[in-house]
Structure 1
Amino acid sequence: MNWETFWADLGTYFTEIPWTDFLERIFAVAMIIVVAFALRWALQFVIRRVVQQIVSGVKKNQKVEDTQALNVSPLAAVRVVQRSRTLGAVLANIVNVFILITALLLIVTTLSPDILGSFALLTAAIGAGLGFGAQNIVKDILNGLFMVVEDQIGVGDIVDVGFASGVVETVGIRITQVRDVDGTLWFVRNGEILRVGNMSQGWARVIIDLAIPYSSDVEAVQDELLRVATALASSRKWRAFILEKPEIWGLESISAEALVTRLVVKTRVSAKWDFARDLRLHMKKALDGMGVPLTPLNSVVMTTGDGTIDGSAIEPVEGALDAAEEAAAAVPDVVGGVRTGPVSVRKPRGPRKAKNVPAPLKTPDPEVRGDGIA
């Protein structure tokens, strides 16, 4: 290898490069990148500023210091804050994607103005492929935009989207993040959300069904439960979260074991579960004071030899089914090399019917014609 020739050719190559044009293109690409970052920062700042102004205005009108205190404010104020933050997050994502795509196209055009025309056929093929392969992405984006514009879902809402239930932490143009009660963060594609159950819009209702013994004084129990619920709803802790007075809707079901009565309270969404827990505790104390026990749901019914029910033998037994299952599980599966399996109790079978026995032929009536008409 002749090194002198190699270095001479290399020097000739660099000498023939149009450095002026090359440096101009590099400078143009650098300016595109700088302008893209500056534009992104400016638009993000404007979006954050607008959202902060809306939230600050709502807090000022409601005379509260933080957004958590808006839970006791009118429902419209809470919804304005949630929707503003959601729209801000979606607009920020749209700005990022738009600036990125625009910057890439400008950079490619600057480096080689004819590259897009040269790859026209390839671009068409890629576009056709994306038309089939990117359908889910387009579906996710469109569904996400419609959900936000129609106010179906917002940041901070408690929702049920089928795949997950919990608090919405982020609403993107393609993915919605939902945190469930266990702390698991679910990433749900917007295109897979076919229905949205939003428990943060409007109001909520606490529904408590209480089973009491059949022999109880129903009216006295209902009056006591209503008194306890009304007193709790009027307390300083809960009065700001209760929208309507507690109500007794009456008996929901009647059986030999229990009478089920229903009590309802209309509350704000943020206080539904906490108020329900507190109300159950006070109801339990009230029932203890009245001497009303809760009815067990499991019972054993014994019958006499003739099949009639022995009324004196009916005795509610708590955990009777659990005890039977434990006893059956305690029996070994294999005894003396013979597999026994779980113990089960079967009802005695009645007399068996013969199978595949033809029915007896019916003697034709002499007064009926062959076509079956008398």
Structure 2
Amino acid sequence: MAEFWTSFTTALAPFDVPITIVFYILGAFVFRWILLKLIDRSVKQIVSGVKKKRGVTDTQALSVRSPLAAVRTVQRTRTIGSVLTNIVNVVVVVILVVMIIAKIDPGILASLSILSAAVGAGLGFGAQRIVGDVLNGLFMVMEDQLGVGDVIDMGEATGVVEKVGVRITQIRDVEGTLWFVRNGEIQRVGSFSQGWNRIVFDLAVPYETSRAHVERVMLQAAKELTEDPDWMDYFIGTPEMWGMESISSDAVVLRLTIRVRPGTRWEVERELRARTQDALKSAEINLPSLKAIVLDGADGQPTAGGTA
């Protein structure tokens, strides 16, 4: 038996390097699979736990029925899971390449270190940008600036965050365009998915129309919407009439605001406009021509009686 194993190992000696490389590759795939399974399982356990605790089955329902902290826990967990997955992929590939090179020729690593020192000055700027992208992406996730599923505004790109990578963040805008944004280039992030949103509804009415009457109609329409069982869960607080925002010889602009749950602003705003139109028709209040509307108030800023 000893002679058999000796002859067997002797016969395989010429294939030692290829066989070792194959084992390295298989080991890397197994190691990567185990880590990704652990990450995926941890993320699913946290998300499922939050959903089960809140009595919902999907994240969309969670965003309507659950406290904001629960929604952020789900979104942040998924984002961190995405980032960790990317890090695992990169680290495993780098380690695998280094091990294979070392097995083929240990002297190559020494040569590569010398070569890298020689070209380090030339690649320094590019490396700094890559490191900056990675660090900025990690800090954005750790500081909860954004998460997968968030609706954000980055200036050039506005939409839903689909993926947060080690170096790139992917955003899908309302037209379906997928934007790839380098994390190091992100200077500001406006989030529509944290805390609360405010609907700012401006309505231009004829100069001669009773302003108090129109305000009552607008406020009543908004209150009916907030009391509707199908919509009441979307709101945080009650409607506020901020009053006259601007005035001209043809029309006055009245402003009404409501706080809503994050990410629900647009659908609630559309429903509010539709109900306000029906209420105005019932009250026989006609609106001026679009050419007569002057929206020169301070957009987004409260007037007397409003709260920021």
User: Shorter-chain TM-score category?
Assistant: 0.7 to 0.9
Relative to its length, the structure with more helix (as a share) is: 2
Structure 1 residue 119 displacement after superposition: 4.2
* Alignment match, 1:191: 184
Is 2:17 aligned against 1:25?
yes
Q: Deviations over 1:310-335 (max 9, x none)?
A: xxxxxx9xxxxxxxxxxxxxxxxxxx
Is 2:28 aligned against 1:58?
no
Give me the CA root mean square deviation: 1.7
Change (3 A) 1:119 1:216: closer
* Alignment match, 2:194: 201
Unaligned runs of at least 5 residues, structure 1: 1-17, 300-315, 317-374
Is 2:267 aligned against 1:269?
no
Structure 1 residue 276 displacement after superposition: 0.8
Structure 1 residue 256 displacement after superposition: 1.2
| Aligned partner of residue 141 in structure 1, secondary structure | helix
Q: Which amino acid aligns with 2:248?
A: S
Q: Deviations over 1:18-46 (max 9, x none)?
A: 97654222222121111111100000000
* Alignment match, 2:238: 245
| Aligned partner of residue 152 in structure 2, secondary structure | strand
Alignment of structure 1 residues 1-374 onto 2, 5 Å: 21-72=13-64, 73-298=66-291
Larger Rg: 1
Q: Which amino acid aligns with 1:277?
A: R
Q: Which amino acid aligns with 2:231?
A: W
Name the CA distance, whole Å, in 1 between partners of 2:56 and 2:110: 59
- Higher RCO, 1 vs 2 (CA within 8 Å, ≥6 residues apart): 2
Name the CA distance, whole Å, in 2 between partners of 1:38 and 1:20: 24
Q: Which amino acid aligns with 1:138?
A: V
Change (3 A) 1:118 1:244: closer
Structure 1 residue 127 displacement after superposition: 3.1
Structure 1 residue 226 displacement after superposition: 0.8
Unaligned runs of at least 5 residues, structure 2: 1-9, 294-308
Percent identity reads 51
Checking the alignment, whether the CA contact within 8 Å between 2:153 and 2:189 is kept in structure 1 is yes
Checking the alignment, whether the CA contact within 8 Å between 2:206 and 2:286 is kept in structure 1 is yes
Name the CA distance, whole Å, in 2 between partners of 1:144 and 1:31: 34
| Aligned partner of residue 106 in structure 2, secondary structure | coil
Name the CA distance, whole Å, in 2 between partners of 1:68 and 1:118: 54
Q: Deviations over 1:51-108 (max 9, x none)?
A: 0000000011101122221022111111100000000000000001001111111111
Structure 1 residue 292 displacement after superposition: 1.6
- Of stretches 285-294 and 223-232 in structure 1, the one that deviates more from structure 2 is 285-294
Change (3 A) 1:209 1:114: same
Structure 1 residue 130 displacement after superposition: 2.5
Structure 1 residue 125 displacement after superposition: 1.8
TM-score, length basis structure 1: 0.73
TM-score, length basis structure 2: 0.88
Structure 1 residue 297 displacement after superposition: 4.7
Name the CA distance, whole Å, in 2 between partners of 1:239 and 1:197: 26
Name the CA distance, whole Å, in 1 between partners of 2:141 and 2:291: 48
| Aligned partner of residue 274 in structure 1, secondary structure | helix
Name the CA distance, whole Å, in 2 between partners of 1:70 and 1:119: 52
Name the CA distance, whole Å, in 2 between partners of 1:254 and 1:216: 13
Q: Which amino acid aligns with 2:147?
A: G
Change (3 A) 1:22 1:113: farther
Checking the alignment, whether the CA contact within 8 Å between 2:151 and 2:263 is kept in structure 1 is no
Checking the alignment, whether the CA contact within 8 Å between 1:32 and 1:107 is kept in structure 2 is yes
Name the CA distance, whole Å, in 2 between partners of 1:293 and 1:211: 10
